[in-house]
A and B are shown apart, each in its own frame.
Chain A
Amino acid sequence: MVTVLDTGGVAVSASQRRWRARISRGLILWIFGFYVLAPLYAGARFALQNDNGNFSFHSVAVIPAQAGFSDAFWYSTRLALVTVIGVLVLVVPTIIYAHLRAPGVRPALEVISLLPIVFPPIVLILGFMHTAPTWLLIWPYHLAILYVVISLPFVYRSLDAGLLALDLSTLVEAGRSLGARVTTIVWRVILPNLTSALVSSVALVVALVYSEYTMASFQVTPTLPVWIAQFSMSDGHITTAAAMLSLVGAWVLLAVVLVADLGRLQWRQRRARA
């Protein structure tokens, strides 16, 4: 058996060191897991447990029948869709252009993308409502404009990391030397390689729209978080179940996109083998 002296001068065998490493690894994972899962467990438990302490799915089953839930849910879903489209249309071409043609402006873009964190949402919504033209204010999805702004820090960072992992300029040059225009390369090469970055961006945006309360509370039409806040006065179990359900919905959406992407890659591999 190999025995070495540890820093304290005490003899430690190799198997003891492996055992210690295993314990520290397990401890770290347990702490992390507990920190992430404990609030979810508490929420789920509160949602599924009635006042007598029994567990049932009653709170979940009755959600669709609650007054205003359906309208709020679908309105938030449409808002999420408009926000996702808006933020991707704004950020994807900008960031690809910056990486490819103007790397010098990247630090400035990074700072700009961080600015929304500095402004409290209340300031953004009040400023917007006092300065936006009427035609924009009567557009039912004008909140999406602000959501695009506040989701910029997450989306920019996620896509920036995705692009940094690619040798973008060489890939573009390789594509051009084969006869492709830059738009073709972006569509066929760059975007497929950004799938995971795009999926995480979309997930973050959807999660943000389904949870943002401050700005949404100024709207005539209630969004899901506003409905949850209002309804929680009458039944906390049901509103917690609704919040948990929206979270599960976002996860399912993420899983569907990832599975579809994996399936696409496997299909390509099978086709090439054939």
Chain B
Amino acid sequence: MTMTNTTGTSRDDLAPSERSGAPVALRHLRRRFATTTALDGFSLDLQPGEFVALLGPSGCGKTTALRVLAGFETPDEGSVWVDGADVTGVPAQRRDMGMVFQSYSLFPNLSAHDNVAFGLRLRKVSGSERRRRANELLELVGLAEHRSKFPHQLSGGQQQRVALARALAIEPRVLLLDEPLSALDAKVRAELRDQIRFLQRRLSITTLFVTHDQEEALSMADRVGVMYQGRAEQIAAPAELYARPETPFVAEFVGITSRVPATRRDDTHVELLGRVVPVRGHLGVSSPELEALLRPEDLTVRLAVDGPAVIVNRSFLGSTTRLEVALGSSIVKVDVAHRTSEDLPHLARVDLEVVAPDVLVSARR
């Protein structure tokens, strides 16, 4: 069976990749801007052909890390390694990395074709070969019929696809994506997301993707690095990151988390909603008053006339319904199957039970 991507390009049409991506290592990077520390000992390894997303709030240092790898920023400390070679001092134009920017950054005076062929021209690729490759890549991103158009004649999504084709045309060792979907509307964003992932897998290019959108990061990347204050809080596969966050910041930044009061039992257990539950990882807090960070699916809820909690809000999410349950001064979010939720009306008193095998805890706020 022939598989087709979002723009109609048949996967069978694509030539197999001739080379795979290069391994990349960022080692103990530090970068300060005046009084702000953008990177504070940040390290990251990318395997050949791996797709890693850097996720974090504004100012966490993710774009600086990408720019250091691209060669647009020089780190104050630390080193950048590509394919086993230290490239820390190598200028950007000699790093052989393709980059796609948030603002498209197509050259306004060049047609879509000439934009894609720009890097090939600099590499002294012959005219006929240049045209062949540029046309092939434009076809790959579904824009063959728009090749003679100038950037201002293309929509945002089309411009970004040309930018992607331009970055891929030079057969880069590493592909860098700096929030490439942020300026697009939701439908185009979803299409381009699939297309980027499809091409990255097909061409097996080592890719670093920077975004503040966790849905993008979790759905596209092989691994996601969550950054906070210039450091990587956790780097893990999306499922692991969601299911087993290692820090309160990761738990609260990725997915939905509720804080539920808990009491320290010993170094490895807490008492939570009347049950003794193992603590995930190391309990690094000495205070006896703690809070457990729970996902909506870590809890179950059942009707109880004298229960300690009250359902204060219900949101229909399709196959599940999200309940907001008031427990003392906390609001706890719990997901229940939609059919079950019909028995749990608004303002009903309920009992909460922890079903997670272990929980992440932090000091009480």
Give me the interface of A with B, judged by CB distance under 8 Å.
166-167, 170-171, 173-181, 184, 188-189, 192-193, 265, 268-270, 272-273
On whether the beta carbons of B109 and A173 are closer than 8 Å, the reply is: no
Please, how many angstroms separate the alpha-carbon atoms of A184 and B121 in the complex? Answer: 12
Q: Would you call A173 and B119 a contact (CB within 8 A)?
A: no
Task: Report yes or no: B148 in contact with A192, Cβ–Cβ below 8 A.
Answer: no
Query: Which residue in B98, B105, B108, B166 is a CB contact (below 8 Å) of A173?
Result: B105
Q: Are B111 and A269 in contact (CB under 8 A)?
A: yes
Chain A's closest residue to B147 (CB) is: A272
B101 touches A170 (CB 8 A): yes
Interface residue B113 (Cβ < 8 Å from any Cβ of A): yes
B166 engages A178 (CB within 8 Å):
yes
Given contacts A176-B92, A269-B148, contact A170 B122 (CB under 8 A): no
Name the contact of B150 in the complex, choosing from A170, A174, A189, A269 (C-beta under 8 A): A269
Size of the B side of the interface (Cβ < 8 Å), in residues, is 37
Q: Which of A173, A184, A269 touches B122 (beta carbons < 8 Å)?
A: A184
Please tell me if the beta carbons of B113 and A272 are within 8 angstroms of each other in the complex: yes
Given contacts A167-B105, A179-B122, 8 further A-B contacts (CB under 8 A): A176-B93, A177-B70, A178-B93, A178-B122, A179-B119, A180-B118, A188-B107, A269-B150
Chain A contacts for B147, CB-based, 8 A: 272-273
**Contact between chains at B148 and A173 (CB < 8 Å):** no
| Given A177-B92, A178-B118, A167 and B70 contact (CB-CB distance below 8 Å) | no
Nearest Cβ on chain B to A265's Cβ, whole angstroms: 7
Offer 18 A-B interface pairs, CB within 8 angstroms, sorted by A. A166-B108, A171-B105, A173-B99, A174-B163, A176-B93, A177-B70, A177-B98, A179-B93, A179-B94, A179-B123, A180-B122, A181-B93, A189-B109, A189-B110, A193-B108, A268-B111, A272-B113, A273-B148
A193 CA to B170 CA, complexed, in Å: 24
Structural contact, B93 and A180, CB atoms closer than 8 A: yes
**How far, in angstroms, from A179 to B97 measured CA to CA in the complex?**
9
Q: Chain B interface (Cβ within 8 Å of chain A)?
A: 70-72, 91-99, 101, 103, 105-114, 118-119, 122-123, 147-150, 163, 166-167, 170, 176
Chain A's closest residue to B94 (CB) is: A179
6 closest A-B pairs by beta carbon, nearest first, are A178-B119, A273-B148, A272-B111, A177-B99, A272-B113, A192-B109
On chain A, the residues within 8 Å of B122 by CB distance are 178-180, 184
Q: Are B93 and A173 in contact (CB-based, < 8 A)?
A: no
CA distance A116 to B150 in the complex (A): 39
The winner among B70, B94, B110 for most chain A CB atoms within 10 A is: B110
Chain B contacts for A192, CB-based, 8 A: 109
**Which residues of the partner chain B approach A189 to less than 8 Å between Cβ atoms?**
107, 109-110
A174-B105 in contact (CB<8A)? yes
Provide the residues of chain B in CB contact with A181, threshold 8 Å.
Answer: 93
List the A side residues contacting B119 at CB < 8 Å.
178-180
CA–CA, A184 and B107, complex, Å: 13
The residue in chain A whose Cβ has the minimal distance to the Cβ of B112 is A272
Q: Which residues of B contact A270 (CB under 8 A)?
A: 148
How far does the Cβ of A123 sit from chain B's closest Cβ, in whole Å?
Answer: 42
What CA separation (Å) do A189 and B109 show in the bound complex?
Answer: 7
- Chain B: minimal CB distance from A173 (Å): 6
Chain A residues near B118 (CB-CB < 8 A): 175, 178, 180, 188
B109 touching A272, Cβ below 8 Å: no
A176 to B72, CA, bound (A): 9
Partner pick for A170 among B93, B105, B109, B148, CB 8 A cutoff: B105
Q: Are B170 and A178 in contact (CB under 8 A)?
A: yes
> When chains A and B are docked, how far (Å) is the Cα of A247 from the Cα of B222?
66
Q: Measured between alpha carbons, how far is A189 from B151 in the docked complex, in Å?
A: 13
Given A166, A177, A184, A272, which contacts B97 in the complex, CB threshold below 8 Å?
A: A177
The minimal Cβ–Cβ distance linking B152 to chain A, given in whole angstroms, is 11
A118 CB, min distance to chain B CBs, angstroms: 34
A177→B95 CA distance, assembly (Å): 8
A73 to B9 alpha-carbon distance, docked (Å): 63
The distance from the CB of B39 to the nearest CB of chain A, in whole angstroms, is 18
Q: Smallest Cβ distance from B115 to chain A, in angstroms? A: 9
Picked from B71, B101, B114, B148, the residue with its CB within 8 Å of the CB of A174 is B101
- Distance between A267 CB and nearest chain B CB, rounded to angstroms: 11
Bound together, the chains give a CA A189 to CA B114 distance in angstroms of 11
Residues of B near A273 (CB, < 8 A) are: 147-148
* A105 and B122 alpha carbons, distance in the complex (Å): 32
Contacts of B112 in A (CB 8 A): 272
Q: Write the nearest CB–CB distance from A134 to chain B, whole angstroms.
A: 46
